[in-house]
Amino acid sequence: MILIADSGSTKTDWRLIDGSREICRIQTKGFNPYYQQPDEMLTEIESALIPNLDTKKVSIIFFYGSGCSTTERQKKITDSLSPFFKTSKIHVYSDLVGAARAASGNLPGIVCILGTGSGSCRYDGEKIVENIPSLGFILGDEGSGAWLGKKMVTDFLRGHMPQKSMETIKEKLQIDKETILEHVNHKPMPSRYLASFAKFISENIDQTYFYQLLFDSFTAFAKNYIARYQNYSDISCHFVGSVAFHNQEMLKNVAHYNGFIIGNIIKSPIDGLTIYHSTK
């Protein structure tokens, strides 16, 4: 049997398949070896994943995750899984490879991630041939949930938004300066906290501030992650991630103004990856 994992900073979706037959679905917390240590990941695997599986029947694991772009960080994932899957072959890939296989399959295209984080690559149908680094939510990740949340709370704390939007945030989110700074500066996974505001922003785009925030963020993504590729306007751009999925009309609007072609938009790579590996 094959175990497939699609892991972001927020959650990990697991699928166990036998040929083309899906055996079970499991969801755990997200794993990001850039921020987390193996012992933290080991604890989550042991408590949330292992009780739902017969590990001896898993022959191969395909793990796709954020923060898994280097050999060193891929090893952290392997080291976290191998104590429980002693006879399984473990393959760890970046979330971009997972997004490419899920959204573009065996066809070439530009593949974009817009979820908690963001990123893009040029895919030739088999492998990634060009990649623009995301740099994380502090230096980059334009258009992502973390980027949106960071911009919103910064404007909120500085009072750089209309009074109506300030009041909406206070009423619906009940956040203040101390709460925000505590989560961002002292608690683990600040990107996950900031990205939690993305849904709220999407739900309030009837207000000019939130509409413009989304439009400007997606425009920044287009300029930094799509327009950098040669002949980008002639290639289908596929999008993966909850931020892209829940803001499709805005994304299409930005595509119109920035001259790129939208292909598939999928919320999560896991279904596409399940199909990809069940047909191999």
CA distance 150 to 185: 12
**Residue 30 pLDDT exceeds 90:** no
User: Mapped to the 3 state alphabet, what secondary structure does the chain carry?
Assistant: CEEEEEECCCEEEEEEEECCEEEEEEEEECCCCCCCCHHHHHHHHHHHHHHHCCHHHCCEEEEEECCCCCHHHHHHHHHHHCCCCCCCEEEEEEHHHHHHHHHHCCCCEEEEEECCCEEEEEECCCCEEEEECCCHHHHCCCCCHHHHHHHHHHHHHHCCCCHHHHHHHHHHHCCCHHHHHHHHHCCCCHHHHHHCCHHHHHHCCCCHHHHHHHHHHHHHHHHHHHCCCCCHHHCEEEEECHHHHCCHHHHHHHHHHHCCEEEEEECCCHHHHHHHHHCC
Mean pLDDT across the chain: 90
Q: Which amino acid is at 150?
A: K
Tell me the pLDDT band of 41, cut-offs 50, 70 and 90.
confident
32-41, 44-53, 91-100, 225-234: which range is least confident on average? 32-41
Average pLDDT over residues 155-164: 95
Contacts (Cβ under 8 Å, ≥6 apart) of 119: 95, 96, 112, 113, 131, 132, 133, 134, 141, 225
The CATH code of the domain that includes 53 is 3.30.420.40
Q: Which amino acid is at 211?
A: Y
Say if 9 falls within a structural domain.
yes
Residues of the domain holding 68? 2-100+270-278
Say if 61 falls within a structural domain.
yes
Burial of 194 (0-12, 13-18, 19+ CB in 10 A): buried
**What is the pLDDT at residue 167?**
94
Number of residues assigned to the chain: 280
pLDDT digits (tens, 9 = 90+) for 62-88: 999 888 888 999 998 898 899 999 899
Tell me the pLDDT band of 13, cut-offs 50, 70 and 90.
very high
Helix axes 270-278, 95-104, angle to 10 degrees: 70
**What is the pLDDT at residue 59?**
92
Beta strands at 261-266 and 236-240: parallel, antiparallel or unpaired: parallel
pLDDT digits (tens, 9 = 90+) for 207-223: 999 999 999 999 999 99
pTM of the full structure: 0.81
Greater pLDDT, 95 or 5? 5
Tell me the pLDDT band of 117, cut-offs 50, 70 and 90.
confident
Which residues are paired to 27 by β-bridges?
Answer: 13
pLDDT digits (tens, 9 = 90+) for 226-268: 999 999 999 999 999 889 999 999 999 999 999 999 999 998 8
Say if 16 falls within a structural domain.
yes
Contact 117, 136 (CB under 8 A): yes
Say if 154 falls within a structural domain.
no
CA distance 129 to 127: 6
- Which single residue is written with the structure tokens 């829940």? 246
**What is the pLDDT at residue 211?**
97
**What is the pLDDT at residue 280?**
63
Number of domains in the chain: 1
Contacts (Cβ under 8 Å, ≥6 apart) of 56: 87
**What is the pLDDT at residue 213?**
97
Say if 160 falls within a structural domain.
no
% of the chain at pLDDT higher than 90: 60
Tell me the pLDDT band of 8, cut-offs 50, 70 and 90.
confident
% of the chain at pLDDT higher than 70: 99
Say if 53 falls within a structural domain.
yes
Contacts (Cβ under 8 Å, ≥6 apart) of 146: 116, 117, 137, 190, 191, 192, 194, 195
Say if 19 falls within a structural domain.
yes
Greater pLDDT, 20 or 100? 100
Say if 33 falls within a structural domain.
yes
Greater pLDDT, 278 or 147? 147
pLDDT digits (tens, 9 = 90+) for 171-204: 999 898 999 999 888 887 888 899 999 999 999 9
